[in-house]
């Protein structure tokens, strides 16, 4: 290339750089940083999707460690002489027994921790302590309880097996309110399939 063309190219580059505004320079710098990070694996994505765990196998969702034991269908829910949920025509109660330990540093809600898969006509009844049938909505940090998660399901929806889903959680800053809390991942979850005992 002729020397006068090299000089002209240099003048043109200097002129273009002078015309760029500060925000454009920031965009260029951010693009260069991302490109370099990508070359060295800095942009690797976190594995997400569906995983499977088995009965009596501890599973951590980030906040809780659950050990799901069994699933049973009954006509009514009783705790000793007390009726928690009475029998209703055409409906049964599905109870899933699980030991749950809060591994986090704040109390955590239990409602929605286990979700039924492919049971659109089911309705959650609540979460109860197995020991005495008392309802429980939260579990404090470091505490462990054996619980029964209960749903009301139509007779026609009873199957020999049931599949439950547990969302992966992360402790994050809340956008609407102040503070941090556990948030369910919409794409990262684990599933367990259990045989159902019908009594």
Mean pLDDT for all residues in the chain: 83
Rounded to an integer, what distance in angstroms lies between the CA atom of residue 86 and that of residue 75? 8
Strand runs (DSSP E) across 75-139, as ranges? 77-79, 82-85, 91-102, 108-109, 115-116, 123-129, 138-139
pLDDT in tens, 125-172: 999 999 999 999 999 999 999 999 999 999 999 999 999 999 999 888
Please report which confidence band the pLDDT of residue 7 belongs to, taking 50, 70 and 90 as the band edges. Answer: low
User: Could you please report the per-residue DSSP string of 2-55?
Assistant: -HHHHHHHHHHHHHHHHHS-HHHHHHHHHHHHHHHHHHTTTTPPPP-SEEE--T
Residues facing 52 on adjacent strands: 191
Rounded to an integer, what distance in angstroms lies between the CA atom of residue 106 and that of residue 59? 19
Q: What local confidence, expressed as pLDDT, does residue 15 receive? A: 66
CATH of domain 50-198: 2.60.40
Measured at the alpha carbon of residue 81, what is the angle toward residues 78 and 86, in degrees to the nearest 5? 40
**Phi, psi (deg, nearest 5) at residue 34:** -65, -40
pTM: 0.73
């Amino acid at each position: 290339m002729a020397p006068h063309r090299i000089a002209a190219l240099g003048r043109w580059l200097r002129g273009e750089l002078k015309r760029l505004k500060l925000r454009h320079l920031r965009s260029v710098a951010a693009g260069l940083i991302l490109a370099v990070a990508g070359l060295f694996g800095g942009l690797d994505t976190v594995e997400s999707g569906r995983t499977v765990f088995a009965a009596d196998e501890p599973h951590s969702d980030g906040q809780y460690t659950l050990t799901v034991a069994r699933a049973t269908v009954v006509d009514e829910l009783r705790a000793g002489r007390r009726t928690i949920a009475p029998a209703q025509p055409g409906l049964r109660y599905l109870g899933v027994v699980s030991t749950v330990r809060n591994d986090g540093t704040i109390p955590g809600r239990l409602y929605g921790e286990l979700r039924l898969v492919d049971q659109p006509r089911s309705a959650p009844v609540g979460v109860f302590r197995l020991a005495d049938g008392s309802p429980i909505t939260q579990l404090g940090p470091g505490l462990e309880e054996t619980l029964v998660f209960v749903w009301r399901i139509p007779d026609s929806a009873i199957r020999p097996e049931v599949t439950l889903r547990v969302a992966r959680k992360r402790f994050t800053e809340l956008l609407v309110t102040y503070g941090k809390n556990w948030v369910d991942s919409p794409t990262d979850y684990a599933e367990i399939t259990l045989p159902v005992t019908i009594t």
